[in-house]
Structure 1
Amino acid sequence: MKGMDVLNHSTLYMKIKHYLLVLVALLPLLHACRKDETEQLSLPAIAANNAIAATGFANGFFIANEGWYGHGSGDLHFYDYSADTLRLNIYAAANPGKTLGGATSTLQFATTFRNKMYIVVKAGGPLVVTDANTMVETARLTTMPDNDGHAFLGLDSTKGLLTTSGGVYPIALPGLTAGAKLPGISSYSGDMIKAGNYIFVHAQTEGIVAYNASSLTVARSFGTANLCFALGKDGAVYAANTDSLIRINSTTLARSAVKLPFSTPSPWGAWRHSAITSSTTDSSIFIVRNNGFMGGTTLYRYVIGNTASLSTPFITLPSGQYFYGAGTAYDKSNNTLVVTTVNGPFTGSVNTVLRYNASTGALINSNVFNGWYFPAMPVFH
């Protein structure tokens, strides 16, 4: 029996040794297969991460996307000037396993402030903060005031403001703690801008309200409006009501108006960042003429002090394209208008980013990307 045991052990030892030698020989091949499989399964994420590590997000602009309602959360794309390409879904690539809200929320607003990006998700939140150069998340406010969030305005290193369906709330930074609602506004609120010693807020019922920036108390109200806000090269704040472009002196709060050749639609009910922007190179205010809350095909330019500049459209979109979301924004780094469109007046899965010379209206280039993204707004450093 002992001899049989020795034979069996010897045979077993030789078999094990053989299998081990075969396994060692196969390891490089198995590793190569696993590597290929990983790259094949997650190639977009790997490519995005490699690009991020190499160049970051310094040379270009972002596009915040609503996301396909009922199917998934929104995300952001990045237009890379150095490569003249779009990197898709960069938040997901930089933050594996995290999302910007649920399937019934919409990512409607984002802005950069002090090297951070503040991403506001409407209808349930959250408010998410990322490093603007890497898109890695650094903070999150999961429970939003009024269970809603529209726009964010950074004030200094310790505080910002958040508009919601019920008013305006101070947000402590960097910890993202919401304070008590500001007095003066208790209705659905949207865009904000700081100019001079005042903060201007757009609200559905109270209209345009100016707050003292230091005390956050109401300084003056200016009546209802539809498109808010743009900061002119003259230092004034511009907005639009139904039929006029409004100018508010940011020092004296004096108000004046210029008649528009078209009507602007109400933003309430399907709020999004306003389709109005301004140049820092020329004395120009740009307004998208939408059919309802979206679906327009023309953009007008008002040259400050020249009412005749509003007589004809400054830009007409190519056939079959329609403004979506905010529709346009000004990139001061190269004096361009960035325009976002879809292939239908209210919906579409063919998205186009067009870049125009903001002084001449000439088309520079366009970039098409397919998918149910629903572009909300361009975002710049």
Structure 2
Amino acid sequence: MKKFYLFTLLFLFAFFINAQVKVQGVLRNDIPAVAKSQLKSAAAPSISFSDIKYWVGTGSNEAAFVVQWNDSKNPDALVWGFRWNGNATGADMIKAIAKEDQRLFTLLYQGTPQGIAVGGFGFDLDGQNLAALYFNGNTSTPLLPVNGIVNTTAYNFDDYTAVDANDHWQSGWMTNGYWSYWVKNPANANFGYSSVGATSRVLQNGSWDVWNFNSSFNTIPLSSTMTPVAPYVSSAALTGLMNMKNVNTVGNYTDGFFIVNEEWFGHTNGSVNFIDNNGSIDYRVYSNANNNHAFGATTQYGTIYGDKFYFVSKQAADGGDTQYTPGGRLVVANAQTMQKIASFDNIGGGDGRTFVGVNEHKGYIGASNGIYLFDIDNLAVGNVIPGTEGADLYSEQIGNMIRTSKHVFALKQQVGILVIDPNTDTVINTIPGDFQSIVQAKDGSVWAIKINTIVNVNPKTFTTQSYSIPTSTYANSWGAWNAGSFSASNTDNILYWFKAGSMWGLGSQIVKFDVNTKTFNESFITIPQQTGTYKQTPYGAALRVNPITGELIVNTTETGGHYQKNWVHTYDMNGNMINTKILNDYYWFPALTVFPDNTAPVVNNTLPSQVTVASSTTINLKTVVSDGDSFNAAIVKTVKSNSNSSVVSAGINADDELVLQPVGTGVADVVISFNSNGKVVEKTITVNSQDATLATSEIKKLNFGIYPNPATDVVYIKTEEKVINIAIYDASGKLVNTQFNNGQINVSMLPKGMYILKAVTDKAVYQQKLIKK
């Protein structure tokens, strides 16, 4: 009996010693017994909340956050504070602190069943701004944190190392060790080991979280010395790392805005500065990322499309620049890291003006002598679009261009607005007039501006309605071309621009135009004016609107040939100045403000995933998709694929409606693509078609006709609409012909008899009887 009891005790002892331990919610049986035995209550904190120097967030609740690296580098066991209202988790605290304190960076696996898994923590201990990681020893492509986070999609934490060996960095899961999680709530005297991860950890007012790295799976006690972190003071973040060559990974230029600069003609090539949302200014971020490379001479335009930033300069190089390597008339960069992707000295022989993204594969380059195709996939400049050519640098140049959901509208000096079909790259209409700039408003309406007039252009019919500006004028921007101050808000149906000055250039007041009421406020904002010899004046485009907040960003410089002083003012939607930043003294000559595009389009659940159609059915696509930092009205909708066109025809009409027309009985998957400023999402609609009888009651004859009828050889389509799809069915409903070319259908091979012709246009679906004789 004694032997039995002894055996039982030994069994239970062995069981508990080898029992699995949860690491961040994950059961582990590979952790040594000695480490498991030490996962017990630990000492109380060595400091109090009053000792914490750096608090992140706002609210009435407070928690402390500690990271202990155990890497023999001091100070260790660093402490931050976190404030919040409502509910918050340990994961929320990690993300908030890592986002604000750019010295702290973390490796996270955010797709686990337990929520986030913490793979690593780092801290810029030596102030060299090299907060980044290498994966698997690949030193050519350092991974830069975005909002303090490097993401991974597996428990491969052991494979990451820090770029700067002098920084705090520990990561691991299976080999190097692991991050153990210790927590303390106000009711507890000491810390306790947490078996759940940060996502499941619910913070309490007065709670503590400690992340303690267990190297080689040997549990290390919590430190008796915890060091409060001093508040973070931004510097030229990432400059040291960006000077490394071949940086091809995600960067940090997402929270803030860019200012594209002409730069000082005869001295420096174009550049771009970045102002983050905390107000810190990073100068020449493209040059810092690319070993002192710059843009071309007099950079006047920049735009982000998809994941790329397109910078357009008037000339390829400034011969007076001996410090920076010129980049050419068109430079393409990674929109987040500013790493160079491609550059082009020659864009069809003309000087650079503008760029607009057409779809994820194609863009248009505006130049002094026409509009040129740009192959985004292969990074190649193509041919000029016929009808856009210009021979005179100062009378036929291309200006601003916009992409609506259906067309591209481009300005041509002294000619008017060229309307281009982006599917065929052809000019389909010209709206004559001496227009200065063009925008699309929040409601989808298109507006162009002349010196004394703003003009509403119907984006479908191209008809116009003019509204005279009551007392002021708009500055002519064609001479020494710039993008102009004419701007549209993405948050309100409002347009803004600067009044013209008394001579050339811009005045001191911003005009506000309400698109809904068609009313003008010609003194909405007056920019500051200094006293003394020099006055503050807007420069370049001078004005753009933050697409998320609706705030106005205004760039100004000093007049009178001084120009070294430069300001960036922020105004709220009521016209109140809420912030001013003063740039370092230099001849920046700011050209244009550009905002990051961080969000992709989101399709809401009102778009059905399945639909049954027994007759022509339309689904409004305008109301099912949105984008937080781009114009919803400009989202391009296309039918990417149709798995069974013999069952249903699918097209999108001029009103952005999906038109589904049953042509037989069966099921088809129709894939809809939504492109918002180069970011694309796709949704599949399963269509159950129940049209086996081809009912003649569906016939529509308005705006559509076929002739001759009866026909012998060729049938012609008569319509002003764009024909997307043609199908001919016999009396039994069998598809017999889909051949359609330049408005003609060859029916010579069909037997004599009666048929049904169905046509999908950009506006409707039509069905008519056809007799073959």
Q: TM-score, normalised by structure 1?
A: 0.82
- Paired position in structure 2 for 1:7: none
Q: How does 1:309-324 map to 2 (within 5 A)?
A: 309-310=520-521, 312-319=522-529, 320-324=535-539
Q: Percent identity?
A: 27
- Helix, strand or coil: the match of 2:384? coil
Mapped contact 2:237–2:282 kept (Cα < 8 A):
no
| Change in CA separation of 1:226 and 1:140 when aligned onto 2, cut-off 3 Å | same
CA contact (8 A) 1:348 1:372 kept: yes
| 2:509 corresponds to which of 287, 295, 298 | 298
Q: Say which is worse superposed, 70-79 or 257-266, in terms of deviation.
A: 257-266
| 2:287 matched residue in structure 1 | 92
Q: What amino acid is the match of 1:282? A: D
- Name which structure has the greater RCO, CA cutoff 8 Å, separation 6+: 1
More helix by share: 1
2:581 maps to 367
Describe the shift of the 1:290–1:175 C-alpha distance in structure 2 as closer, same or farther (beyond 3 A): farther
Aligned residues: 335
Pairing partner for 1:335 from 543, 550, 557: 550
User: Match of 2:309, SS?
Assistant: strand
Unaligned runs of 5+ in 1: 1-34, 37-43
Contact 2:472 2:500 in 1 (8 A): no
Larger radius of gyration: 2
**Residue 85 (structure 1) shift:** 1.6
The amino acid of 1:267's aligned partner reads S
Is the alpha carbon distance of 1:145 and 1:361 closer, same or farther for their aligned partners in structure 2, counting shifts above 3 Å? same
CA contact (8 A) 1:226 1:266 kept: no
Secondary structure of the corresponding residue to residue 92 of structure 1: helix
Q: Take 2:438 and 2:489, find their aligned partners in 1: how far apart are those partners?
A: 13
Identify the match of residue 159 of structure 1 among 362, 366, 374: 362
Report the residue type matching 1:48 in the other structure: T
Quote the residue 1:11 is aligned against.
none
- Deviation at residue 293 of structure 1 after TM alignment: 5.2
RMSD: 2.4
Deviations 1:50-71 (A, max 9, x none): 6999970110110000010000
Whole-angstrom distance in 1 between the partners of 2:539 and 2:517: 28
SS in 2 for 1:175: coil
Q: Which runs of 5+ in 2 are unaligned?
A: 1-125, 128-234, 244-248, 317-327, 390-395, 530-534, 597-773
1:345–1:294 distance in 2 versus 1, CA, 3 Å = farther
Residue 353 (1) aligns with residue 563 (2)? no
Relative distance call for 1:72 and 1:295 in structure 2 (3 A) is same
**Closer, same or farther: CA 54–133 of 1 in aligned 2, 3 Å:** closer
Q: Which residue does 2:335 correspond to in 1?
A: 132
CA distance in 1, matches of 2:538, 2:359: 33
C-alpha distance in structure 1 between counterparts of 2:382 and 2:238, whole Å? 41
Contact 1:188 1:204 survives alignment (8 Å): yes
| CA drift at 1:79 | 0.7
Q: Distance in 1 between the 2:268 and 2:491 partners?
A: 39
Q: Which residue of 2 aligns with 1:235?
A: 444
Give the 3 Å change call, closer, same or farther, for CA 45–229 of structure 1 in structure 2: same
Separation of aligned partners in 2, 1:55 and 1:119: 18
The 1:203/1:346 distance shift into structure 2, 3 A limit, reads farther
Instruction: Tell me the amino acid that sits aligned with residue 283 of structure 2.
Output: L
Among 229, 234, 239, the alignment partner of 1:48 is 239
Which whole-Å deviations, capped at 9, do the CAs of 1:6-61 have from their partners, x for residues lacking one?
A: xxxxxxxxxxxxxxxxxxxxxxxxxxxxx99xxxxxxx877634699997011011
Counterpart amino acid of residue 581 in structure 2? N
CA distance in 2, matches of 1:106, 1:209: 26
Cα distance in 1 for partners of 2:442, 2:594 equals: 20
Matched residue, 2:272? 76
Question: Could you say which residue in structure 1 is the equivalent of 2:375?
Answer: 172
Asked whether the equivalents of residues 211 and 220 of structure 1 are also in contact (C-alpha less than 8 Å), the reply is yes
